[in-house]
Amino acid sequence: MQKSPTVAIIGGGIAGLVSAYYLAQKATLSKIPHLRILLLERSSRFGGWIRSEQLPTKYDSHIFELGARTLRLQSGVASLSSHSAINTLKLLEQLNIFDSQFCPIDKTAPANKNKLIYYNKNLVNLNDLSFIYGGKPLRYPPIVYGLYEYFSQKGRYAVQDESIKSFIYRRFGDVLGEEIVEYLLDPVLKGIYAGSVTNLSARSVLKKVFELEQRHGSLLRGMLKTRNNKQKEDPIHNLFNDLNLKDYSSILNKYAIYYLKDGMEMLVKTLVDHLKSLSNVELISNQHIQKIKFLENNVEISTRSNEIYSVDHLISAMPSFELANLLDDKQHEILRSRLNQISFVNMIVINLLYLKENIFPKEAFGYLIPSREQSNLLGVLFDSCIRHTTDKQKHGSQLTVMMGGAWYDQLRLGQCTDEQLLDIVTKELKKQMNLDEKPLVYSIGRLNKAIPNYNVGHQDVLDDIYAIIRRDKLPLTLVGNSYRGVGISDVIYDTRVEMEYLNLNSTEAKQ
């Protein structure tokens, strides 16, 4: 009797769950329904950092989010593809939660339109910047910066990679570059990566912008040429027939971001329920992997509870450093080294609910804080403004504070007790938004190695990792935010792409 081919997925976060989801779909379409899929998760729950806590009814059932609370409908500076947002909408539809959970935020709504930064001891709205007349925090009108960059010396095409700070200074000069970096890119990238512009890679983080400059010698020139020749120069190739942008044009034109009515964890719970209903998928929690061995014809996964899983292909959906720790020291020394070169930062996320209504100085998504303002905070999210559609009848005001990131060790946040952290936050909020009130209830989340930072040389590290996998013919696929995108939609889309390229026939041929 022929043995069913088996694929193991290690890591039950969003990447692991959608790996199982898309792999099961592909197995059915490829007429390999007997493919066995094992999903192994170390903890007792699935979802990773995606966790939504609904407060008791006495607190009006407000929702505290540990991780992401919104998803983008537009491709941003760190987005993989314009199709990633559509792919997530498609997933919500396939899981039958689009109609009940999709809560979009209109492009004209304050939560999207008002983008605040803490500048010179005041909250400044970047939406007030005029292209012609300028405004705070820029010294000159934006058109001046654009013209300077356009007529600046052509880009040096030999540049392999450089920090975002170096890249902007090279294109805009020290004087103009300093303002763009310090008051625009520094806070924005804090909000995405919690990382520093002096370390983050221009090639990996600002991929589209970096490629335009390398190809055309100027950012602005590249943008203008791409805009004029959009059909010819669009680098995005849609692999999937079901992702037609025109089908979602009304949503894309009207809305910018959205959230899920019952919290982001609804996506996780629905995926888990769906996977449990599939006969060829097995979800196994509380499985602490101890060692991974790549043998001649299979992969051997051993656990701390002395269980051994023999599989034909391994999908790693865990952080790169965790995978490195499980590989054999001598057999995979270089691969381990490269995986450990991908940096991660620690985060502290503090959710707070206040009794007082309308504590916000301005309706907005929240505000970010430039490094030169020397705050202990990275930024503050105005949850009650973001979730206005569903929470407008609820009492009180809710916000979330982000701390740590690349500055976690410098600020010695790991040594702070919960009481000390709350004291720091209370003082900062009083100074920055004149909030002089103690929270009704709060929750402090300590997220160890939460966000990967794609620092200078990140793409070279990835190239080495993939070269080793190909050279040694390892039956290994890498997914998750360690490698090619940190946003939830980007991780989901990237995982779908990887499952599309996974050759199930070669897995079956081993039997």
Judged on CB neighbours under 10 Å (0-12, 13-18, 19+), 126 is buried
Same fold, 6-48+263-342+457-501 and 52-112+344-453: yes
Instruction: Supply the pLDDT for residue 235.
Output: 39
Q: By the 8 A CB rule, do 272 and 17 touch?
A: yes
- Sign of the CA dihedral running 423, 429, 432, 435: negative
Assign domain 6-48+263-342+457-501 to its CATH architecture.
3-Layer(bba) Sandwich (3.50)
Instruction: Supply the pLDDT for residue 316.
Output: 98
- Residues of the chain with pLDDT below 50 are 1, 231-236
Q: Determine the Cα–Cα distance for residues 419 and 398; give it in Å rounded to an integer.
A: 19
Angle, CA of 358, 359 and 360, to the nearest 5°: 90
Q: Determine the Cα–Cα distance for residues 189 and 197; give it in Å rounded to an integer.
A: 7
Instruction: Supply the pLDDT for residue 31.
Output: 73
Domain residue spans of the chain: 6-48+263-342+457-501, 52-112+344-453, 127-236
Q: Determine the Cα–Cα distance for residues 401 and 218; give it in Å rounded to an integer.
A: 37
Q: pLDDT digits over 120-177, tens only?
A: 999 999 988 877 777 888 888 989 999 999 988 776 556 789 999 999 999 999 999 9
Max CA-CA distance within the chain? 76
Q: What CATH number does the domain located at 127-236 have?
A: 1.10.3110.10
Sheet holding 255-260, edge to edge: 71-72, 255-260, 102-106
Q: What CATH number does the domain located at 52-112+344-453 have?
A: 3.50.50.60
Q: By the 8 A CB rule, do 339 and 502 touch?
A: no
Q: Determine the Cα–Cα distance for residues 275 and 454; give it in Å rounded to an integer.
A: 32
